Amino acid sequence: MLNLAGTPPLVAMPEVESRELIAADLRMQISQIETSMRRIATAMDREHGSDPEGSADVFVLDDVTPRYATALAALDACRAGLGHALECLSEAGSTE
């Protein structure tokens, strides 16, 4: 749930400027999500790289891969949603 209690009141501005600011916000959020996805992928690679594959002496008791995979899927869905929002915003600006 969003908490907008500390948000300053909106200032009236031209529609094009407002749309550009929103688009910049969306692009920044997409970039942050992609950074998080790369960090998760790196963490997964590090964890799998430390275990010798095929070793009969290695038992994995707490595999964190499903949690990483779930987090990646959620971030990918967020990225797709933000991308769609950015497309919709661009389409709204091109009708003028």
Domain-by-domain residue ranges, the chain? 20-46+64-94
Distance between CA atoms of residues 76 and 82, nearest Å? 10
What is the percentage of the chain residues whose pLDDT exceeds 70? 67
Q: What is the pTM of this model?
A: 0.68
Mean pLDDT, range 72-83, rounded to an integer = 97
Computed over every residue of the chain, the mean pLDDT equals 81
The 3-class secondary structure across the chain, one letter per residue, is CCCCCCCCCCCCCCHHHHHHHHHHHHHHHHHHHHHHHHHHHHHHHHHHHCCCCCCCCCCCCCCCHHHHHHHHHHHHHHHHHHHHHHHHHHHHHHCC
pLDDT band for position 53 (cuts 50, 70, 90): low
**Lowest-pLDDT range of 3-17, 38-52, 58-72, 82-96:** 3-17
Distance between CA atoms of residues 65 and 76, nearest Å? 16
- The more confidently predicted of residues 12 and 25 is 25
